Structure 1
Amino acid sequence: MTNEIALLCGMTLVTFLIRYPLLAMSDRITLSPRLLQALNYVPPAVLTAIVIPAVLVNGDSLWLDPSNPRIIGALAALGIGLWQKNLLLTILIGMGTFLLWQGIGGA
């Protein structure tokens, strides 16, 4: 138990020490408008890098057929998101479609 607590405290300290200096100096750092514009693309890029493998990969192989409930749910969420531009509705429809398709397919 004490090893886990020491490990947790160490990870907390390391995380704090690598992030705090930049946050403390943030009022003195001025980023160019071009860099700020480029940083707007970071969240979608990271989200895409997380979601695409979670939807398309099953074990060590691609799962690209209609029996994959993750693809069906993702496509439903994509369609609702582009159509309605409502985050909560997109999540609900995507998860609902995924669960329904999973129940139908028995996956």
Structure 2
Amino acid sequence: MEVRLDVFLIILGAAIVTFIPRVVPLMVLSRFELPEWGMRWLNYVPISVIAALIGQEILMHDGKISSFTNNVELLAAIPTFFIAIKTRSLLATVIAGVIFFMGLRWFI
């Protein structure tokens, strides 16, 4: 297998561009102690990002808001949400979501 210089430089550039935004803030922020309100605020970032990603995937198809009557993803997400609240287990939630989605896709 041949390694071309241009492909290698593209991969190296992509690695650097991915590495810098992740490591530089970590290095800078590790030298400071964030205030209590900042730490509380940062605790909400992961759940907000996940909610935005899941919400977009469930409610939109082809750039338009999908109808609620034919939306298998939304129908599977509703019981999955309640299982997530009840069990607070990521594994149980993912397994339940996959089972509900597969079951609904099979029947609908």
TM-score bucket of the superposed structures, by smaller chain: 0.7 to 0.9
Q: Which amino acid aligns with 2:50?
A: L
Alignment CA distance shift 1:84-1:27 (3 Å) = closer
- Please tell me whether residue 11 in structure 1 is matched to residue 14 in structure 2: yes
TM-score by length of 1: 0.84
Q: Percent identity?
A: 23
RMSD: 1.8
Aligned pairs, number? 105
2:102 to 96, 99, 102: 99
Structure 1 residue 10 displacement after superposition: 0.4
* CA distance in structure 2 between the aligned counterparts of 1:91 and 1:55, rounded to whole angstroms: 15
Matched, 1:86 2:89: yes
- Larger displacement relative to structure 2 (15-24 or 52-61): 15-24
* Match status 1:32 vs 2:35: yes
What TM-score does the superposition give when structure 2 sets the normalisation length?
0.84
